[in-house]
Structure 1
């Protein structure tokens, strides 16, 4: 099995519910992105990622950029590792309350336009062919993967800190947790 690195984006310049729906990183987030790069480059050469994949959102792309540049690769954009889709009828202002409610329950209980259990399975499945890859993603998407691997139906099972690196392993058919990344001392809630 090959290692895969699932990395939460660095600290954004704005949080969900604020005016900017696609914020980049703030100064702390840029430092966190460089620390993630430094960790990945410190690995033995035969374990370093060969590819860099990112959610389409700016905070993930900016977190991925130092790693991609250091490895000399182009960032591959994959919506499959993106943020949880918000129901179409929901306003940006209503998204924080919707997320807070989702965090309290199970994947099957999330109200919206799609089957969120299926979204969770697809997020995890998108990682299967990605051995030796650094994947830059989001809090909820990482929880989708972690809850599936743990066999836990709750939405919130893990509180990945900004730029937290969770190490998984894959053989293309199975995904295994090797080591959970650093958890935040404060939650998204």
Structure 2
């Protein structure tokens, strides 16, 4: 199994801070998901370089005495340079498909998929709403940008079936506001 974990609740929204850490609730969520993941014999931890993911991975890292590998391959989707309003752009992107988003984003999704596909079993990957959706959609051959709405610190399980990485179980969904 490979486990995709959405970061805990951030201390600030996209319009307020480009790279917020966790809120007090987010820190509690990170502690709770660490306890949950402890039962899965995690051997590797990968984290997005974004602060909220690094902070979410910290309790598991401490619990297991593992140092997370920080990887931009599982980071948040980048904003095109000509976009001034990221929130509005992201809302539109999330309502559409990867095909509509265009080649740079289709390529981003494919590179992330190849990176995660090469990870060994029992790896925990701390990432983001759009990135987790991109991976799940790619693995399930679903072109929608938003396949499901993972809640903060939800755990999505991936497994290999017949040599192919697939979604075994989607993480818990929440009515959390993404934007």
Q: TM-score, normalised by structure 1?
A: 0.89
Contact kept? 2:140, 2:166, Cα under 8 Å: no
* 3-state DSSP of counterpart to 1:88: coil
* 3-state DSSP of counterpart to 1:5: strand
Contact kept? 1:107, 1:154, Cα under 8 Å: yes
Partner of 2:80: 87
User: 1:102 and 2:100 equivalent?
Assistant: no
After TM superposition, the runs of 4+ consecutive aligned structure 1 residues lying more than 4 A away are none
Partner of 1:61: 54
Higher helix share: 2
Partner of 1:129: 118
Contact kept? 1:129, 1:170, Cα under 8 Å: no
Contact kept? 1:108, 1:115, Cα under 8 Å: no
Q: Which runs of 5+ in 1 are unaligned?
A: none
Superposed, which structure 2 residues align to 1:31-180 within 5 Å?
A: 31-43=28-40, 48-91=41-84, 94-110=85-101, 115-130=104-119, 131-170=121-160, 174-180=164-170
In 2, Cα distance between equivalents of 1:165 and 1:133: 12
In 2, Cα distance between equivalents of 1:90 and 1:181: 31
Contact kept? 2:19, 2:50, Cα under 8 Å: yes
The alignment of Structure 1 onto Structure 2 pairs a total of residues equal to 177
In 2, Cα distance between equivalents of 1:175 and 1:53: 17
Q: Residue by residue, what CA displacement relative to the aligned partner does 1:73-114 show, whole Å, maximum 9, x if unpaired?
A: 1110000000001111223xx000000010111112126xx6
Partner of 1:28: 25
Q: Which runs of 5+ in 2 are unaligned?
A: none
Choose the corresponding residue for 1:11, options 9, 12, 21.
9
Partner of 1:182: 172
Q: TM-score, normalised by structure 2?
A: 0.93
Contact kept? 1:4, 1:170, Cα under 8 Å: no
